[in-house]
A and B are shown apart, each in its own frame.
Chain A
Amino acid sequence: MNHLPLIIKREYLTKVKNKSFIIMTFLSPLIFITFIAVIAYLTQLNNDKVKVISVLDDSGLVRHVFKSTEHTAYNNLEGMSLNDAKALVQESEGYGLLYISKVSEGPIKSKNVTFYSEESPSITLISAIENKIQTELTLQNRIHEGIDVEKLEASKVQIEINQESFKGEKTSKVDSVVKLIFGGAAGYLLFMFIIIYGNMIMRSVIEEKTSRIIEVIISSVKPVQLMLGKIIGTSLAGISQFVIWIILGGVLMTVASFVLGVDLAQMQTPQQQMVEQAMATPEINSEIQNIVTAFFNLPLLNLITAFILFFICGYLLYSSLYAAIGAAVDNETDTQQFMLPILMPLVLAVYIGIFTVIEDPHGTVSTVFSFIPFTSPVVMLMRIPFGVPIWQQVVSLIILIGTFMFTVWFAAKIYRVGILMYGKKPSYKELIKWIKY
């Protein structure tokens, strides 16, 4: 008799009807979006405050480059002693005082420029001011040395290297960034999925043990069926939750942007800025176009197939281990000693993915780890956008499936014995013994 659909249905419905699951599903995106919105709002609020900076340029060489902008107001002081200026700025509660001392001969040097302020000034502001002075002084120097500035500008050349594989596939820097994002997202998604729903499976096995219903159930169904039913049912609940999160997150994001007048999508984190610098291209239009072409340049069909296969196998591999742990222990506090060996390869995979794959997607380290079954789902998913030969993917998948079948067998053994064991805190030695039962 095949009870699998029945078990899956029960597991799914119990999970989905659970109050805390429902609350988590609907509250998480709300909390998350609110969080982002508040941060964005606060940042904007901060930026809205105009910084008043007084400039006392005794050299008279650069004072004209400080023009007030939306966020910074420059206030030129003239014919004042430094002490008077300091007192004035302090009194008027200005942001700070930029002082350039008189230069008797030669160019302005670093020691001639000082910024006085109540608190330490922001780094971006200081670099902006440095930039302004440098540019102006360089220009003045060039004129002074009789260099034709216009010719100098005109002689500048900008090069962007075309990248092409031997097979004739064209890539660019933008491509790399898009690949990175895709691979990273896929790998990270799998990582999160395993941790969240693996734990859920484990808890549900423990619940069956502590409520002592297990013996009633397995007098009707085979333990392996029960275990697989649990894994599949919980995963389906997980997928439902993920889909709701994405939809709800999108809707809330749009609503929040309207209400707060903050364009959340435009909010930039330092990482995003780095990414943008990496793909800085002269025209914005071509930038978007580049991203679109980069997207279509991805081995999409391969990516999607590989994503589905590696995701499923990788997830099942780990979740069967979680189920086995749940079966081996009596309560959640006893799970600690078994969690570490599961989490280690997983965390390792993510770090390898982030640090090695980005640097060298086809290097020895990334290649080796994309074959080792416990790291391969994450690492391979991160590598694939960069183009991995099909044979490598197939071999890695075969190894993964082989290991997956082994762990399911192994987990089922532990599960079968473990679910009927009470009151013992099992050791690894004990678990090995169970396999022989």
Chain B
Amino acid sequence: MNNLLEVNNVSKYFGDFKALNNVSVSIPKGSIFGLLGPNGAGKTTLIRIVNQITMPDAGSVVLDGEALSQKHIMDIGYLPEERGLYKSMKVGEQAIYLAQLKGLSKAEAKKRLKYWFERLEIGDWWNKKIQELSKGMAQKIQFVVTVLHEPKLLIFDEPFSGFDPINANLIKDEILRLRENGATVIFSTHRMESVEELCDDIALIHKSNKILDGKLVDVKRQFKINTFEVGIRSNNQLELEKEISEKFSVSKANFKTLEDELKLNIKINPGENPNDLLNYLTQKGEVSHFVELIPSVNDIFIQAVNNS
């Protein structure tokens, strides 16, 4: 069993509206899985199905080799995008209550909370009411409550919203640490740079359908554009540019260098060896820059959504 979670051919309808159409995703154990998609694509519906908040109309969900059932509630920690806490309840009381709902005993919940509160340096909030805290502070408490029962599967929907860069970093480190300790993480966000930074695998959902999934590197390989960013020095740059343009499809590149070089994006045909290009270029001038252009998650996202 290498996959912690397997969603098999899940469909969900709301009246006539199809929220998910035959979607399957597999989430490897111990990975950080990016669940991406434009607004209204069906991500939240999928997450709610995994959390058993909504039931799928068709298909099945398997968690750690077992069909998803009520007892798995304590194996999952969920930080929804629409989140909040009871405003007039004290922080400590509330955290204990939420932990108890996840099956922890009161004493155990208290012990673990003390640990986490100390760790995040929020110990003196224990007796405050939520309405006295700022949004970021409340978010921290929500994060603690989500991970407190040490679930196998953590689901974070836009976990960094509302955090300043310092606290966002702190939470990011905590997520990475939780993964090291064996948790599997589903991570849904519109911030592509954090996907780039954190995720091992991704799936892209668009208009109720999964249009893309796999290891991030594989996806990138799939979206490879065979284009190289090149800087080359020559006595006659105009002449050289003309010459290269006749041989390859070329566009202007934009990057910073020390000298005034000819900067180009050069596309080669798939299957062609980049060395051939490099050899050709070295004959023409002094190559100061030669980098393969790797599509960013952002590019992949936009391209995939537009193509489908």
Is A14 within 8 A of B83, CB to CB?
A: no
0/1 interface trace, chain B 12-46, chain A, CB 8 Å (1 if under)? 00110000000000000000000000000000000
B198 within 8 A of A: no
CB distance from B283 to the nearest CB of A (A): 63
0/1 interface trace, chain A 206-241, chain B, CB 8 Å (1 if under)? 011001110111111100000000000000000000
Is A215 within 8 A of B53, CB to CB?
A: yes
Is A219 within 8 A of B78, CB to CB?
A: yes
Is A216 within 8 A of B89, CB to CB?
A: no
B84 within 8 A of A: yes
With A212-B82, A216-B80 as known contacts, state yes or no: A3 contacts B101, CB within 8 Å.
yes
Is A218 within 8 A of B83, CB to CB?
A: no
Is B70 within 8 A of A1, CB to CB?
A: yes
Is B82 within 8 A of A422, CB to CB?
A: yes
Is A10 within 8 A of B53, CB to CB?
A: no
Which residues of the other chain, A, contact B51 by a CB distance below 8 angstroms?
219
CB distance from A219 to the nearest CB of B (A): 4
With A18-B88, A211-B84 as known contacts, state yes or no: A10 contacts B97, CB within 8 Å.
yes
Residue of A nearest to B90 (CB): A17
Which residues of the other chain, A, contact B73 by a CB distance below 8 angstroms?
1, 219-220
B103 within 8 A of A: yes
B216 within 8 A of A: no
CB distance from A43 to the nearest CB of B (A): 43
Complex Cα–Cα for A437 and B101 (A): 26
B48, B76, B87, B101: the one within 8 Å of A221 (CB): B101
Q: Which of B83-141 contact A (CB under 8 A)?
A: 83-89, 97-98, 100-103
Is B84 within 8 A of A213, CB to CB?
A: yes
B208 within 8 A of A: no
Most buried by B among A18, A208, A212: A212
A433 within 8 A of B: yes
Most buried by B among A10, A14, A207, A219: A219
User: Interface size on B (CB < 8 Å)?
Assistant: 29
B142 within 8 A of A: yes
0/1 interface trace, chain B 39-78, chain A, CB 8 Å (1 if under)? 0000000001001110000000000000000110110101
Is B101 within 8 A of A215, CB to CB?
A: no
Complex Cα–Cα for A140 and B78 (A): 96
Which residues of the other chain, A, contact B103 by a CB distance below 8 angstroms?
1
With A220-B73, A220-B101 as known contacts, state yes or no: A215 contacts B88, CB within 8 Å.
no
Is A217 within 8 A of B15, CB to CB?
A: no
CB distance from A419 to the nearest CB of B (A): 10
With A1-B70, A14-B88 as known contacts, state yes or no: A216 contacts B98, CB within 8 Å.
yes
A347 within 8 A of B: no
Which residues of the other chain, B, contact A208 by a CB distance below 8 angstroms?
86
Which residues of the other chain, B, contact A211 by a CB distance below 8 angstroms?
84-87
CB distance from A93 to the nearest CB of B (A): 61
A6, A18, A420, A436: the one within 8 Å of B53 (CB): A420
B185 within 8 A of A: no
Complex Cα–Cα for A215 and B14 (A): 18
Is B78 within 8 A of A433, CB to CB?
A: no
B205 within 8 A of A: no
With A213-B83, A215-B82, A436-B15 as known contacts, state yes or no: A14 contacts B101, CB within 8 Å.
no
Which residues of the other chain, A, contact B97 by a CB distance below 8 angstroms?
6, 10
Which residues of the other chain, A, contact B101 by a CB distance below 8 angstroms?
3, 6, 217, 220-221
CB distance from A159 to the nearest CB of B (A): 66
Which residues of the other chain, A, contact B100 by a CB distance below 8 angstroms?
3, 6
CB distance from A42 to the nearest CB of B (A): 41
Complex Cα–Cα for A221 and B98 (A): 10
Is B89 within 8 A of A14, CB to CB?
A: yes
Q: Which of B188-203 contact A (CB under 8 A)?
A: none
Told that A14-B86, A219-B73 touch, could you supply 9 new A-B pairs with CB distance under 8 A? A1-B70, A6-B101, A10-B97, A211-B84, A216-B80, A216-B84, A216-B85, A220-B98, A420-B48
- Report which B residues bind A (CB closer than 8 A): 14-15, 48, 51-53, 70-71, 73-74, 76, 78, 80, 82-89, 97-98, 100-103, 142, 145
A sample of 24 inter-chain contacts (CB < 8 A) reads: A1-B70, A1-B71, A1-B73, A3-B100, A3-B101, A6-B101, A14-B88, A207-B86, A211-B85, A211-B86, A212-B82, A215-B82, A215-B83, A216-B83, A216-B98, A219-B51, A219-B52, A219-B80, A220-B101, A221-B101, A420-B53, A422-B82, A436-B15, A437-B15
Please name the 7 residue pairs, one residue from A and one from B, whose CB atoms are nearest each other, closest first.
A212-B84, A220-B101, A215-B80, A211-B84, A219-B78, A219-B51, A213-B84
